[in-house]
A and B are shown apart, each in its own frame.
Chain A
Amino acid sequence: MKKIWLCIICFILIMCGGLVHMDINALADTTVITLETNEYEVNNNEEIVVTIYLNSDVNIGAYHTEVKYDTYRLEYVGGGDNLVDGKVILEGNGYGKDIVYKLTFKTVSGGVAKISCVNGDIRIGGSADNKKQNISVASELMLNIAGEDTAISKENKDIFGIDASVPLCGVVDIDGVGRYYIIDHSEFIPDEAVWSYDTIKDKYGDATYTFITNKERNVKILYLMDSDGGYHMYAYAKEMQALYPCLEKVVEGQNSYVMSSNVCTSWPEDLTLDYVKKNNVCYVMNQNGECGFYKYVDDEFAKWSEEDGKAFLDGQMKIFYYILMAAVVVIIVVIASVFIVNYNSNEAKNERNKRRSKNANKSSDNSDIEFIDIDETDKVKTRHLNVIPEGSDKVKSGRSETISEIEEDEKPKERPVISVRNVTMKFRVSTSDASGIKEYFIQKIKKQVTYREFLALDNVSFDVFKGEIVGIIGTNGSGKSTLLRIVSGALGPTEGRVRVNRKKLQILTLGTGFDMELTARENIYLNGAIIGYTQEFIDENFDRIVEFAELQDFVDEKVKNFSSGMVSRLGFAIATIGEAAEILILDEVLSVGDEFFRKKSLKRVKEMIHGGSTVLMVSHGMGTILENCTKVVWIEKGKLRMVGEPKVVCDEYQKLYDEK
């Protein structure tokens, strides 16, 4: 606790010190330059004396200042040290803290002449390092010289390029009209200004000008002169940094000046841009300098009042309220109707269910027979086969007979359907498990991030020929799934290649893409689309799918309410409804579900197999492999251990287990 207090106190002290230090510095070593004269109203052709005081709080050493004067109206007579470029130079070495100069000028023209001090360089006297002093100019002089201002034309010509006899102080280019000249209102106000006015200084762009304003100071006017000497009245809009023309019109019987609404810096509470644009609202000033907002509608000026503004705003607000009300009404209506509909349909559903349950028992028997109908194209082969009963031995012999029959019928194929050549799959696994950027960087800094290469598959090669049913076995983590993914094309091997016609490939997996929030019907379409069925195909086979899965009563029910068995049935039905592709990959399809389902799925898969497809399957069930496969590939820890007859390979595999 103590430490914290110490820190706070130190901090405050330092801040105070800093502030004090800054202030003191500002005051030290400053020279104040003042210009004075006895008379500010002088006559033409007279000599006047201007006194210049340099007062410092330290000794003045070497100094150099310049005094600028109105060269058109004054003539320098003497008193300074030098005259360069129309500026009187005062320079030298001072003694003491004060210096005084008396300059004499002669007036040569009427008008207003300005004398000011510019560019000073004053050093501290007697200091070793010749430091500069700060300079503060206290005043400048404006002399009013009586008489005609004969110099003004020349002055205007030199500065602005126009021969004019009124004092100008700037130029401005107005769109569509050309170049106008800003009249210096601190010296001259044209007679056109017949209304009650006052003057005020304000900044426009980079320079400060003198504007004419009214009593309330809510509008600033400038008179601009064009190249022919005509005067134009413009109003200044500070926010827009623009000048707007003022038009003379009769408003409510009086001669008034009409200008853009932007001229007024603060609009009344209820005036909005929408209203201004819609009703052509403008800002009007009458001869007394009183201003107000007027609408210009139908060639008539009408005073804008707050009620108008309020009414308009209320109109706008009303629209918003209507929208909100409409939204609330819609919400209520929809929710109410949903409740009513639900109520009605529930009653109807209960009726339907009662009727359905009477017929339910009959439906399950039909599906088996239906499915056998599908294989109507490849009839020769299927008729040779029985619908396969239980018992492995019978199956095996049955299988091999028919395979040899098929092989004799067709020409022996020399090219393999799937060719796996020297496939190696390396995964770059980082030994850390950085789940986010922070941990990654921390570990990188700590140099804990290293990578090791994990060899999922090591130089695996084998072939699968048409009509073969190849089973892949191996202990967990041996790379079976990786191999399937490489064959299917989802993963690219690090080395080696796989030759297979991917267009004829179909992967059977269950429940891919099922979305719990959708109904069974919607999921059939979704899943079907993802697998690759066209819409027409699904439309044609929709009823078959539903019947195979035995979900006739649940078609429009959300899948999240299904039991796991129902989900598997549905997934399987969708996946296997199509005619079997020429190359099938079964990824653990046969190890899912209850007893009854397994029988059914096995039956269907066998139908697909016997359709002449080439099959690549992964299964953990030895029985399944032995029953159905013609060839078994044993992958152990990424390496190809054995390829051959199912019985042989499986026996070897068993031996490994028994040893363990």
Chain B
Amino acid sequence: MNRKRRKREERQQYIFALKQLVSREIKRKYARSYLGIVWSVLNPLLTMAVMSMIFSTIFKRSIENFPIYYLTGTILWSFFSQSTDAAMTALVDNKNLLLKVKLTKQTFILSRVLTALTNLGYTMVAYTFMLIVFRVKISVTMLLFPLAIIFLLLFSTGISYMLSIAYVFFGDIKYLYSVVLTIWMYMSAIFYPVDSVTPVMQSIVSANPLYSYIQFARECVMYQKVPDGIVWLKMIGWGLGMFFAGYYIFKRKENSVMQKV
């Protein structure tokens, strides 16, 4: 009984420490701005308005409700790119703490990923608002949306683990990764319909793990249908697979990181 209670206390303390780290990241991000958190809501709205004004005329024949189509894709993409980009430097940024503190190293990476998740939470406010404005039909399938977020979270965490280890050894990967992210974004069909590109590109897009999350989200929110089994499979497979792969690599390389950092 005592051990159980102690374990629970430890877990509570861990969560408390994690929360503190996350709030530090968020405060730091908006340290010098007055609007602070409000930007998390405004930013996606503004980009969506601009992108819609530009692209909805180009795709007027093939995409119904471009603003929501775009917004769904972009909030999921932003979460992924922000979390992995920030988490990449987590170990190196906190190198003082790594050696002196009892916290496990995963905590630092997790704190950055959770920061991005908190940001996603704020953008959901904007998203819900837009759903109302564009009169998207409310349906039961919308309840499936959080699943996409959960598995995307697992996927991002796995990749973050791998990147943070790599960054300790090779600083160049930061620049490499920003290029990779750009290409990746264009292959995720965020602002264009999949049918409008060549078959080769179409197969690349459908193999893209990010696209499976975006597709899942779009289908259950915009088209009110339960996505096909294949999309489920891709979503869950990539999420779990990447998470365990990342975790495994992280565990193996943990000690060598301590020497290098």
A interface vs B, CB < 8 Å?
267, 271-274, 277, 316-317, 319-320, 323-324, 327, 330-331, 334-335, 338, 427-428, 435-438, 440, 485, 488-492, 502, 505, 507, 509, 512-513, 515, 517-518, 522, 525-526, 529-535, 587
Contact = CB atoms under 8 A, between A and B. Distances in A.
B12 interface: yes
B28 interface: yes
B60 A535 contact: no
A316 B56 contact: yes
Contacts of B23: 522, 526
Contact of B20 (A273, A277, A492, A525): A525
A428 B256 CA distance: 10
Interface in B71-112: 94, 96-103
Contacts of B94: 513
A445 B258 CA distance: 27
Contacts of A505: 102
Given A267-B60, A515-B24, 6 more contacts: A319-B134, A330-B38, A331-B42, A490-B100, A491-B99, A502-B102
Contacts of B179: none
Interface string B43-70: 0011001001100110011111110000
Contact of B172 (A331, A438, A492): A438
Given A435-B171, A529-B20, A272 B56 contact: yes
A485 B99 contact: yes
Given A334-B38, A427-B259, A437-B172, A517 B63 contact: no
A323 to B, nearest CB: 5
Contacts of B96: 512-513
Contacts of A277: 64
A513 B97 contact: yes
A331 B97 CA distance: 37
A529 to B, nearest CB: 4
Given A491-B99, A512-B101, A526 B24 contact: yes
B255 interface: yes
Contact of B21 (A323, A437, A526, A532): A526
Nearest to B36: A334
Contacts of A518: 24, 27-28
Interface in B1-22: 9, 12-13, 16-17, 19-21
Given A324-B46, A534-B16, A490 B97 contact: no
Contact of A267 (B38, B61, B134): B61
Given A320-B52, A530-B20, A491 B258 contact: yes
B183 interface: no
B133 interface: yes
A514 to B, nearest CB: 10
A437 B170 contact: yes
Nearest to B101: A530
A530 B103 contact: yes
15 contacts: A267-B60, A271-B60, A272-B56, A316-B56, A317-B53, A319-B134, A323-B49, A324-B49, A435-B171, A440-B170, A517-B27, A525-B20, A529-B17, A532-B13, A534-B16
Contact of A535 (B16, B65, B102): B16
Given A317-B53, A320-B49, A534-B13, A273 B61 contact: yes
A526 to B, nearest CB: 5
A151 B42 CA distance: 74
B143 interface: no
Top-7 shortest CB links A-B: A272-B60, A529-B20, A529-B17, A517-B31, A320-B49, A338-B34, A526-B20
Contacts of A338: 34
B230 interface: no
A273 B63 contact: yes
Nearest to B65: A274
Contact of B28 (A438, A440, A517): A517
Contacts of A525: 20
A contact face: mostly helix, strand, loop, or mixed: helix
A443 to B, nearest CB: 14
A467 to B, nearest CB: 23
A549 B2 CA distance: 35
Contact of A274 (B31, B64, B97): B64
Given A518-B27, A522-B27, A492 B101 contact: no
B222 to A, nearest CB: 12
B64 A273 contact: yes
Contacts of B200: none
A522 B27 CA distance: 10
B46 A327 contact: yes
Contacts of B61: 267, 272-273
B148 to A, nearest CB: 24
A77 B100 CA distance: 103
A525 B27 CA distance: 14
B140 interface: no
Contacts of A320: 49, 52-53
A331 B33 CA distance: 11
B255 A335 contact: no
Contacts of A532: 13, 17, 102
A489 B101 CA distance: 9
B99 A335 contact: no
A532 B107 CA distance: 13
Contacts of A428: 259
Nearest to B28: A517
Nearest to A426: B259
A560 to B, nearest CB: 10
B35 A331 contact: yes
Contacts of A488: 100
Nearest to B48: A323
A167 B18 CA distance: 77
Query: Which interface residue of B9, B62, B170 has the most chain A CB atoms within 10 A?
Result: B170
Given A272-B56, A324-B46, A330-B42, A492 B255 contact: yes
Interface string B228-261: 0000000000000000000000000001001100
A522 B24 CA distance: 8
B60 A273 contact: yes
A523 B147 CA distance: 35
A490 B100 CA distance: 7
Interface string B123-150: 0000000000110000000000000000
Contacts of A526: 20-21, 23-24
Contact of B100 (A273, A324, A507, A517): A507
Query: Which interface residue of A320, A436, A488, A518 has the most chain B CB atoms within 10 A?
Result: A320
A435 B169 CA distance: 8
B80 to A, nearest CB: 24
Nearest to A525: B20
Nearest to A515: B24
B252 to A, nearest CB: 13
Given A274-B64, A515-B24, A529-B21, A327 B45 contact: yes
Contact of B16 (A267, A273, A502, A529): A529
Contacts of B52: 320
B99 to A, nearest CB: 5
A335 B35 CA distance: 7
B45 to A, nearest CB: 6
Interface string B201-216: 0000000000000000
A324 B48 CA distance: 10
A453 B130 CA distance: 61
A492 B258 CA distance: 9
Contacts of A267: 60-61
Query: Which interface residue of B65, B97, B102 has the most chain A CB atoms within 10 A?
Result: B102
A327 B42 contact: yes
Contacts of B63: 273
Contacts of A512: 96-97, 100-101
B193 to A, nearest CB: 10
A327 B100 CA distance: 45
